[in-house]
């Protein structure tokens, strides 16, 4: 019985009681009037009974359709596995061995497969429910009957709940309170950083969004033109129009002020805060999305890029595997994606984001595992068979796939070098701590060294990298300046530090414009290069780093700290625009398609989010003064509101720094990344400028504040005797590595 019916019943009983009381009935007219009132009340009760029946039928229908939607989701999941088995079988060679290309940028684990399965079931159920009801997800979420039915299935002993695995359960506040070191050291997977929201920023959680996702069906079908009917232009057509190098040398312009090490640091940082898994085959085989590079294969896992063959890529279909859906249980949410690593700037690319990875990488006595060779300690070998790596040499001493906290360590030698650099630094710090704290256990040494390394990475990122990345206006607007003394007390437990989809999918990919056309060694005269290698041959190939047992690392460091990065502009090298990973891939096309895959709103929606000028109509191109090449874009997009975020962000005019140099970014990407780094700082309970126990004692903090990347390079590069004070900038004057006026060192006596 509803509340209204109860009230009505009480009213009826009251009137009847009044009728039976001689004191209340004074005349025939009053009695007749009361009978009319009773008749009306009885009619109202009948209507309410009928409404209750209708409501019960609606609830029953909603529950039935939601259950049917989940059954369809389960069926689609099972069929996907069957199709994967089919494609795996037809891909077998004569000796029944699976053909692997090692083109997957993350390692498959039990957790990743279960997350993928759960996410796909949920997404398929939402898609089915939209089709069954003719309602959007927003409308369904606003309907209490469907929302209740959806929540009941998620919470009850349903077909869905029985499929959920134990490994997908998340940490709780009670779990966090049981950890003895919860207030002093980070967990390896990022859980319990926020004690009230213990899964914020943790590995294998949903990437949050600055702006809600946009899909043409509201679920996961990529957006179409603002006219509501036209498909968007092929990413390759856009790439060939606005990202091609037009000068005769086919080489992009160099940057005037930053070294190649700046490019490497940006990539190193990116791999610390985000890794978006794509769909994976449970047994590790690559998913094929194009039939003979010509016809897109219709699979839930695929969004092959259709294109017109051109002189650089003679294909009509480019391989593209979709991001794996995150298991987002909210009914009003369309497709969401997962971050497989921690969002925090915590050195996860060095230490890993899971206990399994940490166990593989951790050695004895608090140190990290290394491969000791004549040229010094190198990273250990990846023997998993899943390394994102292609070897060109035949000597295993000279060529092997490296293992690190992030699978992308072998993407290019400059990135791999930074992984090695901080493993060496960790082990060096363990030795220093052992000297001042000889009674510490291996666990104590490891945890404190990891904490210091994480702090150093945060400090270099904000003190050196962001100073080049942003204009002063952006640094001040988002509070990205570091303190010179004292503690930061602006931690905010209400800020979610998770890496946003718009950052991972578009804004942080600006660095692809800085990739050079070649890499090499530089001799001690800082003029003579050797082993010059086209960039496309260094991708997925660590040869330049591990060559001759690591004895050429010094020459590689000289090259990366002396030669300029390429300009952060619209020009992309052929190595990544036509031959990515020595295949038939265009990185810029993949970036555009990834934005559509992950539901990024258009460029103009992001400008509105950032309080920048926004077009008032489909043809109002003049309202975008920051946007270059507008005349070309008008030919590529039917509406100004169709522009992809990645395209618009890359083509924006760059902002200026206080020194008069150009920053790396235009206003839209600067806004998106400024907000992200602000949240990474304010939402991190273990931010290095905080007081002990989450942070450091003030005397220890002052030591960390002295460090530059040059400090770390000098301390861990055999034979390096001189370097500029800031390694991310091109050298003006090199300083002696032992001159602490310019390249200071940490005094570990402060840890006594």
- Are 145 and 58 a contacting pair, CB within 8 Å? yes
Separation CA 327–CA 277 (nearest Å): 13
Separation CA 581–CA 734 (nearest Å): 35
Separation CA 444–CA 296 (nearest Å): 54
Quick one: which of 129, 139, 151 has its CA closest to 76? Answer: 129
Query: Got the DSSP string for 200-212?
Result: TT-TTEEPP-SS-
Separation CA 168–CA 118 (nearest Å): 9
Quick one: which of 432, 456, 430 has its CA closest to 445? Answer: 430
CA 172 to chain CA mean position, Å: 23
* Rounded (5°) CA angle 454-257-564: 85
Alpha helices (runs of H) in 584-659, residue ranges in sequence order: 587-597, 603-609, 630-636, 645-650
How is residue 517 annotated by DSSP?
Answer: S
Separation CA 427–CA 370 (nearest Å): 9
Separation CA 201–CA 167 (nearest Å): 18
Q: Which secondary-structure segment (H or E) carries 396? A: none
Match 């998993």 to its residue by tokens: 384
Radius of gyration, CA atoms only, the chain: 30
Match 């232009």 to its residue by tokens: 233
CB neighbour burial string for 406-430, b if at least 16 within 10 angstroms, e if fewer? bbbbbbbbbbbbbbbbbbbbbbbbb
First to last CA, the chain: 71
Separation CA 75–CA 595 (nearest Å): 28
Separation CA 35–CA 29 (nearest Å): 10
Quick one: which of 261, 159, 186, 192 has its CA closest to 560? Answer: 261
Q: Is 426 annotated as belonging to a binding site?
A: no
Structure tokens at 222: 């990529």
- Are 668 and 603 a contacting pair, CB within 8 Å? yes
- Residue 283 neighbours by CB under 8 Å, 6+ apart: 88, 98
Structure tokens at 197: 């929201």
Tally the C-alpha atoms within 13 A of residue 160's C-alpha that lie toward its C-beta. Answer: 27
Surface-to-core class of residue 291, CB atoms within 10 Å of its CB (0-12 exposed, 13-18 middle, 19+ buried): exposed
- Are 165 and 114 a contacting pair, CB within 8 Å? yes
Separation CA 68–CA 649 (nearest Å): 42
Query: Got the DSSP string for 143-165?
Result: -HHHHHHHHHHHHSS-HHHHH--
- Are 409 and 416 a contacting pair, CB within 8 Å? yes
Separation CA 704–CA 269 (nearest Å): 18
Tally the C-alpha atoms within 13 A of residue 211's C-alpha that lie toward its C-beta. Answer: 20
The binding site consists of 512
The binding site for heme b consists of 512
């Amino acid at each position: 019985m509803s509340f209204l019916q109860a009230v009505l019943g009480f009213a009826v009983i009251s009137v009847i009681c009044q009728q039976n009381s001689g004191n209340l009935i004074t005349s025939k007219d009053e009695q007749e009037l009361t009978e009319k009132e009773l008749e009306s009340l009885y009619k109202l009760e009948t209507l309410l009974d009928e409404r209750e029946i209708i409501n019960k039928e609606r609830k029953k229908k909603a529950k039935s359709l939601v259950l049917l939607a989940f059954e369809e989701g389960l069926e689609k999941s099972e069929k996907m596995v069957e199709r994967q088995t089919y494609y795996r079988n037809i891909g077998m060679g004569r000796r029944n061995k699976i053909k692997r290309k090692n083109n997957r940028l993350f390692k498959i684990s039990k957790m990743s497969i279960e997350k993928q399965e759960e996410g796909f079931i949920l997404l398929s159920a939402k898609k089915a429910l939209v089709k069954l009801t003719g309602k959007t997800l927003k409308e369904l979420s606003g309907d209490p009957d469907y929302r209740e039915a959806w929540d009941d299935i998620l919470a009850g002993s349903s077909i869905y709940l029985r499929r959920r695995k134990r490994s997908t359960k998340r940490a709780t506040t009670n779990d966090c309170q049981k950890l003895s070191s919860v207030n002093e050291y980070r967990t390896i997977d990022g859980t319990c950083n926020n004690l009230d929201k213990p899964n914020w920023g943790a590995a294998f959680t949903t990437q949050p969004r600055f702006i809600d996702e946009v899909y043409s069906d509201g679920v996961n079908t990529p957006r179409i033109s603002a006219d509501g009917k036209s498909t968007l232009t092929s990413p390759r057509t856009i790439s060939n129009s606005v990202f091609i190098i037009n000068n005769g040398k086919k080489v992009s312009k160099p940057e005037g002020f930053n070294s190649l090490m700046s490019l490497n640091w940006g990539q190193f940082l990116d791999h610390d805060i985000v890794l978006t898994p794509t769909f994976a085959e449970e047994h590790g085989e690559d998913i094929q999305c194009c039939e003979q590079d010509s016809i897109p294969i219709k699979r839930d896992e695929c969004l092959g890029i259709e294109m017109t063959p051109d002189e650089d890529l003679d294909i009509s279909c480019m391989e593209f595997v979709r991001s794996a859906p995150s298991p987002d249980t909210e009914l009003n949410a369309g497709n969401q994606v997962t971050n497989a690593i921690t969002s925090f700037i915590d050195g996860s690319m060095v230490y890993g984001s899971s206990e399994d990875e940490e166990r593989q990488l951790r050695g004895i006595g608090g140190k990290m595992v290394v491969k000791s060779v004549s040229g010094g300690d190198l990273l250990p070998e990846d023997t998993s068979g899943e390394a994102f790596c292609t070897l060109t040499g035949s000597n295993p001493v000279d060529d092997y796939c490296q293992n690190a906290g992030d699978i992308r360590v072998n993407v290019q030698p400059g990135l791999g070098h930074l992984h090695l650099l901080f493993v060496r630094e960790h082990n060096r710090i363990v030795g220093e701590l052992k000297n001042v704290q000889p009674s510490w256990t291996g666990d104590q040494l490891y945890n404190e060294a990891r904490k210091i390394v994480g702090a150093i990475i945060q400090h270099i990122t904000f003190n050196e990298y962001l100073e080049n990345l942003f204009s002063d206006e952006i640094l001040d607007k988002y509070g990205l300046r570091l303190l010179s003394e004292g503690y930061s007390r602006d931690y905010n437990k209400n800020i979610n530090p998770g890496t946003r989809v718009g950052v991972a999918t578009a804004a942080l990919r600006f660095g692809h414009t800085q990739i050079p056309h070649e890499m090499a060694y530089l001799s001690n005269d800082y003029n003579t290069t050797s082993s010059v290698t086209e960039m496309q041959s260094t991708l997925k190939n660590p040869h330049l780093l591990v060559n001759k047992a690591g004895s050429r690392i010094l020459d590689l460091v000289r090259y990366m700290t002396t030669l300029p990065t390429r300009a952060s502009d619209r020009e992309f090298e052929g190595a990544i625009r036509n031959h990515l990973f020595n295949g038939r891939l265009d990185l810029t096309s993949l970036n555009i398609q990834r934005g559509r895959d992950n539901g990024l709103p258009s460029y103009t929606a992001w400008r509105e989010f950032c309080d920048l000028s926004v077009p008032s109509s489909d043809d109002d191109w003049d309202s975008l003064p920051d946007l270059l090449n507008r005349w070309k874009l008008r030919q590529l997009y039917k509406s100004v509101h169709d522009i992809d975020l990645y395209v618009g962000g890359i083509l924006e005019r760059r902002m200026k720094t206080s020194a008069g140099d150009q920053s790396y970014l235009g206003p839209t990407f600067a806004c998106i990344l400024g907000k992200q780094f602000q949240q990474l700082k304010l939402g991190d309970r273990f931010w290095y400028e905080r007081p002990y126990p989450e942070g450091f004692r003030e005397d220890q903090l002052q030591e960390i504040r002295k460090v530059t990347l040059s400090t770390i390079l000098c301390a861990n590069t055999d034979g390096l005797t001189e370097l500029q004070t800031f390694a991310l900038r091109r050298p003006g004057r090199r300083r002696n590595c032992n001159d602490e006026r310019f390249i200071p060192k940490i005094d570990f006596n402060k840890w006594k």
